Structure 1
Amino acid sequence: MVHLTIDLIAKSRNHFKKKRGLSFPEYLKTLTHLHFSSKNIEDIGDLSMCRNLTVLYLYDNQITHICNLGFASNLTHLYMQNNNITHIDNLSNLQMLSKLYLGGNRIAVVEGLEQLSELKELHLENQRLAPGEKLLFDPRTLLSLAESLYVLNINNNNIDDIRDLAVLKELQHFSAADNKLHNMEELEDVFNHWPQLLQMDLSGNPACKKPKYRDRLITVCKNLEVLDGREINELTRQFLINWKASKEAKKKKNNTHALTPLIPYPLTNDFNMGQGPHPGQIYSHASMQKWKPQQSLRAQKLKIPMSGLLNHVAIPSAICSHMDA
C-alpha cells in the first residue's frame, strides 16, 4: 500500500533539484504544486508542512477516501479523478477551492460541499455506479453552490432528471452528455433559470431525438453560443426567437376570438318590443300567428318602419320558419 507522505515527497525525483539551497522543511513551506498522479497511491497521509499548497494532482491512483487535507486552506485546485472514492467529505476547510475534479470515481451522491463558497468548477463525469443506480444531488449542496458554480460536468451518470439543478443560476458551462434526459418541457424549464449559460452538451440523451430539439433550446437559452459541440449562428437564433414570438401571438389571438361571448337573445330592449316568444320554447303555428310584435313609442317617434325594425332584431331560425309559414 502506497501512502502519500512527507517521506514520499522527499524521495521523489521531481523535487530533488528544487531542494538545493533550501532545507527540506523550508522547501515544503514554499511548495505550491504537488504532482503525484499515477503512483498507485491508496491513502493520503500527513502533509500539513505543505501549508502553502494551492494545486494538488492525485488523479489516476487508488485512493478510496478524501482525508488529511484540512491543513490546505490555500488549495484552489484539487485533481482526484479516476480513483475509488465513494463519498465526498472532509473538504469543509478548503475555503479557497475553486476547481474540484472527481470524475471516474464511485460517487453516488453529490454532497459535503456546503462550505465551499468559492467553488466555480465541479467535474463529476463517468462515475462507476452500480447497475440501475444514478448520480443524485443533495439539495443543501446545490443551494450552497447557487451563487458560485460556473461549470458543471455530469456526463454519463444515468441521470434522467435535472430539475433539482435549476437553483444553479450562475452556470455558464453545462455538460450532461450520455445520460437519460428525455423530457423537453422539464429541460426548458430548468434552462429558463440559467440566463448566463454559454456552452451546453446534451449529446447522447433521448431528448436529442425529439422534434425541433435544437431549435427549442436555442430559443430558451438566449445567450447560448455552443450546443452539443456546434456553434449557434446569431441570425439563426434571432429568426427562431421571432418565429416563436409570432407563433405565440397568433395562438393568443385565436384563443381571444374563441373566448369572445356570443350576444344573447334578445339583442337589446331599447325598443321595448313587448312580450315576445321565449327562444328556448317551441311554439305552434297558431300561436305564432297570434303573436305580433308591437312597435314601441320610441320606435314610433323615430318613425322606424316595423319591417325595418325587425331587420335589426336577431330572431332564432326556428321562429323565422314559423313566421315565413
Structure 2
Amino acid sequence: MVCLTLDVIAKSKNHFKKKRGLSFPEYLRALTHLHFSGKSIEDIGDISTCRNLTVLYLYDNLITHICNLDFASNLTHLYMQNNNISHIDNLFNLQKLSKLYLGGNRIAVVEGLERLCELKELHLENQRLAPGEKLLFDPRTLLSLAHSLCVLNINNNNIDDIKDLAVLKELQHVSAADNKLNNMEEVEEVLSHWPLLLQTDLSGNPVCKRAKYRDRLITVCTSLVILDGREINETTRQFLLNWKASKEAKKIKNNQHVTNGQLIPYPFTSDFNTVQGPHPAHKYSHVKMQTLQPLRPAVIVHRDLS
C-alpha cells in the first residue's frame, strides 16, 4: 500500500529540485503546494510538518478515507477528485478551505462541512453511486454553507430534487447537468431564491424538454447570464420580462373583475336590458310536471225564459 508520508515526499524528484539549499525540515515547513496526483496513493500518513501547506493535489489516486489533515489549518485548496472516497470526514479543522474538489468518488451524502465557513467552491460531479442511489445533502451542511458557497457542481448524480439547495443564497455558478430533474415549477422556485446566479447548466435533465423551459427560467432569474452554455441576449430577456409583466397584469385585472362582481355569469340578449329577476323557467323548476288532459268542449244549457 502506498501511503503519503514525509519519506515519500523526500524521495520525490519533483520536490527535491525545489529545496534550494534548505534542510529537509526547513523545506517542509516552507512548503505551500504539495503535488502528489496520479501516484497510486491509498492513504495519507503523518505529514504534519508541512504546517504552511495551502494547496494539496491528491487527485487520481486510490484514497478511501480523508484523514490526517487536522494540521493543515492554512489549507485553501484541496484536490481529491477521482479517488475511492465514500464519506466526507475529518475536514473540521480546515477552516480556511476555499475550494474542495471531490468529484468522481463514491460519496452518497454531502455532509461534514459544517465548520467550513470560508468554502466558496464545492465540486461533487460524477459520483460512482450504487444502482438506484442519488446524491443527498445533509441540511446542516447546507445551512452552514448558505452564506459562503458561490460555485456548486453536482453533475451526473441521479438527482431528482433540488429544493433543499434553495438556502444557498450566494450561489453564482451551478452545474446540475445530466441528472433527473423533471419538476419545472420546483426548478423555477429554487432559481428564484438565488438572486446572484450568473450561470447554470441543467442540460441533460428531463425538465429541459418542458414547454418554454428556457423562457421561464430567464424570466424567473433576472441575474442569469448563461443558461445551458448559451448566453442570454438582453433584448430577448427584456421582451420576455415585458411579456410576463403584461400577462400578470391581465390576470390581476381579471381577478379584480371577479371580485367586484363585474363579470356576468349568464349571457343576456337585447330583450333584457334592465335587471331582471329569476328566469321564468327557473320559477317553477321545483314544481312536479303533470300530464295535461285535453279540454272537453263546454256544454251550453239553454233555459226557457217564456
TM-score w.r.t. length of structure 1? 0.81
- Shift of residue 258, structure 1, vs aligned partner: 2.7
- Shift of residue 186, structure 1, vs aligned partner: 0.6
Q: Deviations over 1:244-285 (max 9, x none)?
A: 01011111212222333379xxxxxxxxxxxxxxxxxxxxxx
Q: What amino acid is the match of 1:38?
A: G
Question: Percent identity, aligned pairs only?
Answer: 81
Q: For 1:262 and 1:123, locate their aligned partners in 2 and report how far apart those are by CA, in whole Å.
A: 56
Match for residue 318 of structure 1?
280
Q: For 1:237 and 1:83, locate their aligned partners in 2 and report how far apart those are by CA, in whole Å.
A: 42
Q: Deviations over 1:161-191 (max 9, x none)?
A: 0000000000000000000001010111111
- Quickly say closer, same or farther: Cα 1:234–1:4, change in 2 above 3 A: same
Match for residue 236 of structure 1?
236
- Shift of residue 15, structure 1, vs aligned partner: 1.1
Q: What amino acid is the match of 2:260?
A: T
Q: For 2:139 and 2:246, locate their aligned partners in 1 and report how far apart those are by CA, in whole Å.
A: 38
Deviates more, 1:69-78 or 1:13-22: 13-22
Q: For 1:127 and 1:150, locate their aligned partners in 2 and report how far apart those are by CA, in whole Å.
A: 21
- Quickly say closer, same or farther: Cα 1:318–1:15, change in 2 above 3 A: same
Q: For 2:127 and 2:261, locate their aligned partners in 1 and report how far apart those are by CA, in whole Å.
A: 59
- Shift of residue 313, structure 1, vs aligned partner: 6.6
Q: Let me know the Cα RMSD of the aligned residues.
A: 1.7
Q: Secondary structure in 2 aligned to 1:19?
A: coil
Match for residue 148 of structure 1?
148
Q: For 2:23 and 2:250, locate their aligned partners in 1 and report how far apart those are by CA, in whole Å.
A: 78
Match for residue 116 of structure 2?
116
Q: Secondary structure in 2 aligned to 1:179?
A: coil
Q: For 1:262 and 1:316, locate their aligned partners in 2 and report how far apart those are by CA, in whole Å.
A: 18
- Shift of residue 316, structure 1, vs aligned partner: 5.0
- Shift of residue 110, structure 1, vs aligned partner: 0.2
Q: What amino acid is the match of 1:170?
A: E
Q: For 1:209 and 1:160, locate their aligned partners in 2 and report how far apart those are by CA, in whole Å.
A: 15
Match for residue 159 of structure 1?
159
Q: What amino acid is the match of 1:181?
A: L
TM-score w.r.t. length of structure 2? 0.86
Q: How does 1:299-314 map to 2 (within 5 A)?
A: 314=276
Match for residue 253 of structure 2?
253
Match for residue 268 of structure 2?
none
Q: Secondary structure in 1 aligned to 2:171?
A: coil
Q: Deviations over 1:58-108 (max 9, x none)?
A: 000000000000000000000000000000010000010000000000000
Q: How does 1:51-62 map to 2 (within 5 A)?
A: 51-62=51-62
Q: Deviations over 1:29-53 (max 9, x none)?
A: 1000000000000000001000000
- Is the aligned partner of 1:29 residue 2:29? yes
Q: How does 1:13-52 map to 2 (within 5 A)?
A: 13-52=13-52
Q: What amino acid is the match of 2:225?
A: E
Q: What amino acid is the match of 1:158?
A: N
Match for residue 10 of structure 1?
10
The alignment of Structure 1 onto Structure 2 pairs a total of residues equal to: 273
Q: For 1:17 and 1:92, locate their aligned partners in 2 and report how far apart those are by CA, in whole Å.
A: 33
Q: For 1:262 and 1:135, locate their aligned partners in 2 and report how far apart those are by CA, in whole Å.
A: 53
Q: For 1:132 and 1:312, locate their aligned partners in 2 and report how far apart those are by CA, in whole Å.
A: 68
Deviates more, 1:118-127 or 1:253-262: 253-262
Match for residue 91 of structure 2?
91
Q: How does 1:61-80 map to 2 (within 5 A)?
A: 61-80=61-80
Match for residue 203 of structure 1?
203
Match for residue 129 of structure 1?
129
Q: For 1:212 and 1:34, locate their aligned partners in 2 and report how far apart those are by CA, in whole Å.
A: 48
Q: What amino acid is the match of 2:252?
A: K
